[in-house]
Amino acid sequence: MLRAFRPPRAPLARPPGTAAALPSRGPPEPQREFSVMSRSPAVSAARAAAPAVLLALLLVLPAVAAVPPPPPTAVAEVRDTLHGVEIVDPYRWLEDQQSPATRAWIDAQNAYTDALLGALPGREAMKERLARLMRADAVGTPRLAGGRYFFSRRAADQDLSVLVMRRGPDARDEVLVDPHGWTPDHSVSVTLLDVSDDGRMIAYGVRTGGADEVVVRFLDVDALRTLPDTLPLGRYLGVEIHPDRSGFHYSRFGREGARIHRHAFGADSAGDPLVFGEGRGPAQLVYVQLSPDGRWALYSVHHGSAASKVELWAQDRAAGGPVFPVVTDLDATFAGGFAGDRLILHTNWKAPNGRVLAIDLREPSRERWTEVVPERTSALQSIALAGGRVFALYLENVISRVRVFEADGRPAGEVALPGAGTVSGLSGRWDAPEALFSFSSLASPPSIQRVDAASLRRTEWWRSPVPVAPGDFVVRQEWFASKDGTRVPMFLLHRKGTRPDGRRPVLMFGYGGFRQSMTSAFRPEAIRWADMGGVFALVNLRGGAEFGEPWHEAGMLGRKQNTFDDLIAAAEWLIANRWTVPARLAISGGSNGGLLVGAAMTQRPDLFRAVLCGVPLLDMLRYHRFLVARFWVTEYGSAEDPEQFRWLHAYSPYHRVRPGTAYPAVMFVTGDADTRVAPLHARKMTALLQAASTSGHPVLLHYDTQAGHAGGRSVAKAIEDETDELMFLAWQLGVDPAAGSGSRERGAALAPSR
């Protein structure tokens, strides 16, 4: 799945989902790991049992382009009346994930999908070319502590990332945690959660499959000894090791909401004292950060995953003082870090595009707050502190720029970036001499950059060896008018020399929600699509943060339709400007982006040929009842409210399906272990579209019994997943899966299904 870019972890008031667990800033995420089409033994066995007659039909599928009918689905209508409107749900029974009837239905759907995809020629060529892009060495942005660098690394011959340390910028890599030998199928992965300030201890999460839940473990770095203290399987919003390594604070999310506890190493965790969060409701997310000297504890409270309101509370741990309020009554966001006794904060309070404030925790009254960096016309995305300076990451027309300011706000210069693209993972320490970040673009593989905080001299620390030659691909930015006249940009990626010819296979990708900015960042699947002669279009929809908080607010709650209108207008622009035609146009999105493409295809089924819909929200009248979706009411609204019901009912994809309509080909992607977005959405929508569509195009469900919403896939599974997804799109748009600069010979383009 073409996955949403996951923003870097903020040093303070962390956005949900950036530490190891649920709830993310909405269904995302983002961020880039949410494809779940890995194969489990149970699924493989079910697929192997596909009827012989079906398989015989499929053997000639590419030649005749006919698609056999899907397995039948029973209808059992449930009727509800909401605010005077009768709602009919014919597939409510598919919400019961564990019922024998649902399990049998899933097995039948998987067998059907596997037989269809397995009959397509060119899979091995597609897989081999994707593997070239995805098997290359990969390195995460380092975290600096105690003069040491901590990061994740995956070598080309490895299936999983390992946790690594360097004792200096040019020192050798020392492997700290390697999960490869833990399970035969490489289904268990690790994530770095925290590093002690002296760099001598790390906390890391152990995840099975794509679940949000992790087990938290601790490692003595110098002794390479795993401590006996662990946190059991659960959803954690953050772990903070005490500067003296005597214990840690952690935020765990349970039935009643998030609570912050303190643990002393060697003590029984059952007796860990509660330090913050008592009385907080289940729709509030609570985080903790400790100052490097250990004096201050900062507790942040996010009201809903859209985090339009953030409270800050602090505690002087050195003095043993009580928790006191810093910010409690402002409808604004706050994120940043410690500079001694001060907080340096990125906020949108009285600044829709963002500004930087300083708050001295010794005198935190509002009249003593100071503005460090005023609001600019470009959107402030995040800040990092390094060498006593503020590094501010801006988006200017969706292109990253890093400006640097002194502690008193005086401009100190700008970091010269490698080109026009995306900065992610910007990080540093107030007392450290450098900042670090990752840089890439749609056409440029990632690199890790170091910046001297004093001179602002940038040096390349690592560059991806992905085989993409400079100049082979072109990224261009285009602007179009949406339905209401708003100008919206999008990036187009294609091979050099590609021109509009009216028939290009175009794959559009979007997200449009929860303040997630979709920028020109490297995506192997996009490169593969462009290498096959296609065009990849990344649309900067309203609902994101590309142009600050107003851009987000223009695509949320009662204005959510703007997001869908933007995608539809982008498609119309691509057609009007002779890049493509509806028969060669596909859309892709996951999580909140799954809602996006679900809405687009039900509102304009004539506009698209194929839809790739991953881990989606689709029944918007019932979504808030399941798993953690109550956190997203601040972004979408709730059908329990009469006014909000009106706008949700108007666009809810599940309720927009009309029998007798020719819908595009669709492949839904989800899995049992998705504990963030309930897979019932994809199950119900698959059944509904299979019954309603008259186009003859396939409606497929690719359902994994072991995978979920979060990251953690092995690279082998990721390659299989992306191969299946691009094969589906190539089949539907008539693209040769063996095409591309790496091809030694060309095969015949797949015949689209009728």
Helices and strands of the chain, counted as H and E runs: 14, 38
3-state secondary structure of 431: coil
34 or 392, which is more confident: 392
Q: Is 709 a catalytic residue?
A: yes
Structure tokens at 671: 């899995």
Contact 607, 568 (CB under 8 A): yes
Contact 518, 5 (CB under 8 A): yes
Catalytic residue from among 291, 482, 591, 753: 591
CA distance 680 to 616: 9
Please determine, for residue 78, whether its predicted confidence score (pLDDT) is greater than 90.
yes
Mean pLDDT within 728-743: 88
pLDDT at position 459: 98
Q: How many C-beta atoms lie closer than 10 Å to residue 371's C-beta?
A: 14
State the pLDDT confidence band at 140, using cuts at 50, 70 and 90: very high
Q: What is the dihedral of CA 330, 334, 338, 343, to 10 degrees?
A: -30
Please determine, for residue 535, whether its predicted confidence score (pLDDT) is greater than 70.
yes
Q: What is the 3-state secondary structure (H, E, C) of 167-225?
A: CCCCCCCEEEECCCCCCCCCCEEEEEEEECCCCCEEEEEEEECCCCCEEEEEEECCCCE
217-263 confidence digits (pLDDT tens): 999 999 999 999 999 999 999 999 999 999 999 999 888 889 999 99
Which residue(s) pair with 475 in the sheet? 493
pLDDT at position 254: 86
Q: Is 482 a catalytic residue?
A: no
Contact 312, 337 (CB under 8 A): no
State the pLDDT confidence band at 706, using cuts at 50, 70 and 90: low
3-state secondary structure of 444: strand
Mean pLDDT within 643-667: 99
Catalytic residue from among 346, 552, 697, 709: 709
Superfamily of domain 41-50+100-132+469-616+659-733: Alpha/Beta hydrolase fold, catalytic domain (3.40.50.1820)
Mean pLDDT within 632-660: 98
319-368 confidence digits (pLDDT tens): 999 999 999 999 999 999 999 999 999 999 999 999 999 999 999 999 99
pLDDT at position 708: 63
Mean pLDDT over each residue of the chain, to the nearest integer: 90
Q: Which of 731, 532, 584, 585 is nearest to 133 (CA)?
A: 532
